């Protein structure tokens, strides 16, 4: 070996929730663990999430009197997968493991120092199961990294793993690019891939999804499918690479993060926040939830059904606004600068400022109206008493927009959209002031495809044979598992991370 090369017992590639959960589980005085993260900081996509884990049978459920069971959880998840017409694509064995372990993992990370509020309800779950960590999703990373360090784990950021090292059919380590150069890091026991999904790898999206989907960006620029590529290079099979959550429309993030997202995530502060949240009036929590809704969720299709239109920076319509969310996201990604705006008038602003109409919702938790956006997201709500006044700060072509509005009003009068065939046209735009909401972007939150794994998170070949001493956890180790709804991806990250860490330690 070169003098710079190293040897550890377990090498984990990726410093998000799954990699850190694996590290905490694997580490012991007799098992030296190294975590390598290519970004300057830990977190992965977990740190960008709302922060919920959906689980049954937790202590928090019991504490608030919710009666639940893994059997009911399993039925509800199966129904959700069936409604997506993906039943035949789902890995039922991994689903059983997730259902069984999710509640245990919530209690496990709470014992490590995390604090949760809830649980909250979300259809189609029959009882509240969505546990939200406080003060924000970065708390998973804070709690797990501190627990890992206490157990003797070494964590290195800014370390890009280039490829797996093999000896025969066995994975023996990784080749790493660091600020001091390229080195080999060998693993006596195992390598665990915890590198996230491939939502920001354009080439892979073209290969496994479509050329149109490849135009849509991922929410996490660092999710470039590194583990998928490394795994496939040593013979790993992949599953469900054409399935994704979205893409969806999403308002651009504010220039400044939400104050709750900027709070320190030390366990002591988290426990204080948890106590405050549990005792605060429901109105206070809904106030916080609305801030998340106006940043992290997609605009409702209802605003388009009632008459809103999408326009690009050239002031032109470019699609039928009643298409599916993925189709709209693709259409926006094709526009100049990959952005668009929602155009409405005072009439639509008024009806979307009161029930039952909302711009965005989290069922059973909170609802965000136009007035909420006007107060909480002033950066994306633009107002003008005429089109020129509306567009002057946005560099949107006001003459083209005026023509677009007049043309659409003619479509409303005739009952026919000659440009895109839209059926529900609304009432047109007759009341000032006028509003542009945006910019909007098309965005992949996650893609479901991952390396094939077994019940112990060993990576498998196309023939179902284990690749010796190679494991995968989180999105890269999703193994054909379909994860419908909120809180399922972080649940799998934590569950699979623990499974991979536990079994890698045995090697």
Per-residue pLDDT tens digits of the chain, which is 507 residues long: 444 689 999 999 999 999 999 999 999 999 999 999 999 999 999 988 888 999 999 999 999 999 999 999 999 999 999 999 999 999 999 999 999 999 999 999 999 999 888 898 888 899 999 998 887 888 999 999 999 999 999 999 999 999 999 999 999 999 999 877 899 999 999 999 999 999 999 999 999 999 999 999 999 999 999 999 999 999 999 999 999 978 999 999 887 665 555 555 555 555 555 555 555 545 555 565 666 666 667 899 999 999 999 999 999 999 999 999 999 999 999 999 999 999 999 999 999 998 889 998 765 556 788 998 998 889 999 999 999 999 988 989 999 999 999 999 999 999 999 999 999 999 999 999 999 999 999 999 889 999 999 999 999 999 999 999 999 999 999 999 999 988 999 999 999 999 999 999 998
Beta strands 434-444; 217-218: pairing state: parallel
pLDDT value at residue 297: 76
What are the distances in angstroms from CA 300 to CA 251, 322, 330, 401, 445?
A: 12, 11, 17, 23, 17
Distance CA 339, CA 335 (A): 6
**Which pair of structure tokens corresponds to residue 175?**
């080749």
At residue 74's C-alpha, the angle toward residues 484 and 326, to 5°, is 10
Bridge partner residues of 217 (DSSP): 443
- Overall fold of domain 6-246+446-506: FAD/NAD(P)-binding domain (3.50.50)
Q: Which CATH number fits domain 299-444: 3.40.190.10, 3.90.700.10, 2.160.10.10, 3.40.50.20?
A: 3.90.700.10
Collapsing DSSP states into helix, strand and coil, what is residue 214? helix
Within 13 Å of residue 376, how many CA atoms lie on the same side as its CB?
A: 23
Beta-carbon contacts of residue 107 (< 8 Å; ≥ 6 apart): 58, 59
Radius of gyration over every alpha carbon of the chain, rounded to an integer in angstroms: 24
Task: Write down the residue that tokens 């100049």 correspond to.
Answer: 336
SS (HEC) of 8-25: EEEEEECCCHHHHHHHHH
Per the CB < 8 A criterion, the answer to whether 476 and 193 are in contact is yes
**What's the distance, CA 24 to chain centroid?**
23
What are the distances in angstroms from CA 306 to CA 273, 346, 412, 445?
A: 40, 13, 12, 27
pLDDT value at residue 2: 46
pLDDT value at residue 268: 58
**Which pair of structure tokens corresponds to residue 429?**
């735009």
**Which pair of structure tokens corresponds to residue 307?**
């008459």
Q: Could you tell me where in the chain the CATH 3.50.50.60 domains are found?
A: 6-246+446-506
Within 13 Å of residue 410, how many CA atoms lie on the same side as its CB?
A: 8
Q: Tell me the H-state helices in 322-376.
A: 325-333, 346-351, 370-376
CB atoms within 10 A of CB 91: 21
Q: Tell me the H-state helices in 339-386.
A: 346-351, 370-376
**Residues 51, 55, 60, 66: what is their CA dihedral angle, to the nearest 10 degrees?**
130
Task: Write down the residue that tokens 């919920």 correspond to.
Answer: 52
pLDDT value at residue 134: 82
Per the CB < 8 A criterion, the answer to whether 55 and 129 are in contact is yes
Taking 3-state DSSP, the helix, strand and coil percentages for the chain, each rounded to the nearest 5, stand at 40, 25, 40
Q: Could you tell me where in the chain the CATH 3.90.700.10 domains are found?
A: 299-444
pTM of the model: 0.92
DSSP one-letter code for 300: P
Could you give phi then psi for residue 452, rounded to 5 degrees? -70, 130
Within 13 Å of residue 421, how many CA atoms lie on the same side as its CB?
A: 1
């Amino acid at each position: 070996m070169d003098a710079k090369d190293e040897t550890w017992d377990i090498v984990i590639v990726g410093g998000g929730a799954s990699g850190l959960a694996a590290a905490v589980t694997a580490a012991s005085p007799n098992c030296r663990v190294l975590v390598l993260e290519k970004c300057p900081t830990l977190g992965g996509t977990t740190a960008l999430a709302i922060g919920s884990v959906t689980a049954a049978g937790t202590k928090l459920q019991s504490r608030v009197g919710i009666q639940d069971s893994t059997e009911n959880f399993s039925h509800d998840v199966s129904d959700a997968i069936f409604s997506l017409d993906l039943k035949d694509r789902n890995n039922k064995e991994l689903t059983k493991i997730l259902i069984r372990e999710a509640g245990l993992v919530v209690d496990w990370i709470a014992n490590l120092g995390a604090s949760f509020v809830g649980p909250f309800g979300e259809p189609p779950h029959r009882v509240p199961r969505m546990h939200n960590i406080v003060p924000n999703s970065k708390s998973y990373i804070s709690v797990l990294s501190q627990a890992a360090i206490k157990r003797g784990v070494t964590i290195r950021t800014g370390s890009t793993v280039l490829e797996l090292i093999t000896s025969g059919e066995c994975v023996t380590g990784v080749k790493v690019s660091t600020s001091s150069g390229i080195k080999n890091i060998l693993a006596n026991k195992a390598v665990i891939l915890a590198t996230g999904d491939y939502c920001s790898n354009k080439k892979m999206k073209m290969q496994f999804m479509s050329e149109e989907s490849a135009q849509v960006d991922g929410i996490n620029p660092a999710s470039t499918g590194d583990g998928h590529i490394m795994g496939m290079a040593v013979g790993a099979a992949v599953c469900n690479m054409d399935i994704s959550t979205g893409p969806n429309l999403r308002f651009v993030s504010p220039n400044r993060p939400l104050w709750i997202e900027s709070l320190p995530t030390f366990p002591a502060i988290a426990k204080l926040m948890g106590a405050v949240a549990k005792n605060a009036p429901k109105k206070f929590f809904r106030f916080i939830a609305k801030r998340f809704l106006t940043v992290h969720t997609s605009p409702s299709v209802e605003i388009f059904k009632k008459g809103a239109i999408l326009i690009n920076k050239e002031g032109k319509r470019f699609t039928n606004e009643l298409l599916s969310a993925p189709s709209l996201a693709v259409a926006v990604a094709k526009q100049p600068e990959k952005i668009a705006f929602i155009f409405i008038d005072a009439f639509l602003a008024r009806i979307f400022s009161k029930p039952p109409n909302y711009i965005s919702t989290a069922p059973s938790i909170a609802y965000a109206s136009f007035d909420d956006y006007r107060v909480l997201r002033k950066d994306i709500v633009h107002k003008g008493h005429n089109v020129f006044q509306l567009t002057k700060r946005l560099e949107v072509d006001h003459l083209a927009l005026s023509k677009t509005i007049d043309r659409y009003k003619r479509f409303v009068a005739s009952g026919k959209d000659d440009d895109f065939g839209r059926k529900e046209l609304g009432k047109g735009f007759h009341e000032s002031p006028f509003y542009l909401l945006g910019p909007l972007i098309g965005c992949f939150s996650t893609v479901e495809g991952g390396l094939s794994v077994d019940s112990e998170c060993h990576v498998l070949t196309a023939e179902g044979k284990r690749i010796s001493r190679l494991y995968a956890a989180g999105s890269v180790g999703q193994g054909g598992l379909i994860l419908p709804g909120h809180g399922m991806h972080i649940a799998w990250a934590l569950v699979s991370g623990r499974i991979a860490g536990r079994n890698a330690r045995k090697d």
